[in-house]
Amino acid sequence: MPPAMLIVGAGRTRSATAPLGSFPQGGGALWRGMNILVALGILVTVTGIAGILWCLGMAVRLRRPDMEEEQATAMLRRLVLFHMIAIGAAFIGLGLLVVGLLLR
């Protein structure tokens, strides 16, 4: 008698006695796509966090006493822009990572 088969999704099945998360050899294109999505999410998140740390270093430099007010204001405006971009990248990367893990 063959073992009971469960439908897992995307046309894949696995034995009811197989451990969770085990799929047939190869896994198919959907499985590889989710792995790429997870890797891309990690890369974008790490890039965003590195940008946030860079902004922190620039903010420390901004507090120098020898900098003129106009120069400090211009630098602060640019820093706020880069900070928002870095936070957005980290947020999008985390979203990609969560979607990739949930669909995997």
Residue pLDDT, tens place only, 10-32: 555 555 555 555 555 555 666 67
- Three-state DSSP at 5 gives strand
How many structural domains compose the chain? 1
Interval 35-92: pLDDT, tens: 889 999 999 999 999 999 999 999 998 888 888 889 888 999 999 999 999 999 999 9
- Three-state DSSP at 21 gives coil
Contact 13, 5 (CB under 8 A): yes
Contacts of 22-31 with C-beta under 8 Å, sequence gap 24+, read 31/104
Residue 5 lies inside a defined structural domain of this protein = no
The pTM assigned to this predicted structure is 0.67
Residue 20 lies inside a defined structural domain of this protein = no
Task: Return the pLDDT at 38.
Answer: 92
Q: 64: closest CA among 74, 72, 55? A: 72
Pairing of strands 5-9, 12-15: antiparallel
Task: Return the pLDDT at 78.
Answer: 94
Residue 23 lies inside a defined structural domain of this protein = no
Residue 63 lies inside a defined structural domain of this protein = yes
Residue 7 lies inside a defined structural domain of this protein = no
Residue 61's domain comprises: 29-103
Distance CA 2, CA 57 (A): 63
